Amino acid sequence: YAYHTEPYTASREVSPRLGDEEVCALAALPLMLPAHVYIMVQKHSPYREFFIWSLMRMWERGHVQASRRRFPASMPACSGRRPRALALGQAAPAFLALLQLSALAALILLAECACHRFQPHHLEFRH
Give the C-alpha separation, 127 to 113, whole Å.
31
Q: What's the pLDDT at 18?
A: 77
- CA 8-11-86 angle, to 5 degrees, is 105
pLDDT at 3: 66
How many angstroms separate the CA atoms of 49 and 56, rounded? 10
Distance, in Å, from the CA atom of 54 to the CA atom of 19, rounded to the nearest integer, reads: 42
- Give the pTM: 0.34
pLDDT in tens, the chain (127 residues): 566 676 667 777 777 777 777 776 676 666 666 677 777 888 888 888 888 899 899 999 998 888 777 766 555 565 445 555 556 777 788 889 999 999 999 999 999 999 988 887 766 666 6
> Residue 124 has what pLDDT?
67
**Tell me, what's the pLDDT at 78?**
59
Q: Which of 87, 82, 85, 86 is nearest to 21 (CA)?
A: 82
Q: Could you tell me if 83 and 27 are in contact, meaning their C-beta atoms sit under 8 angstroms apart?
A: no
**Angle CA(13)–CA(92)–CA(79) in degrees, nearest 5?**
35
Write down the domain spans for the chain.
7-118
Measured CA to CA in angstroms, residue 46 lies from 26, 38, 58, 109 at distances of 49, 17, 19, 49
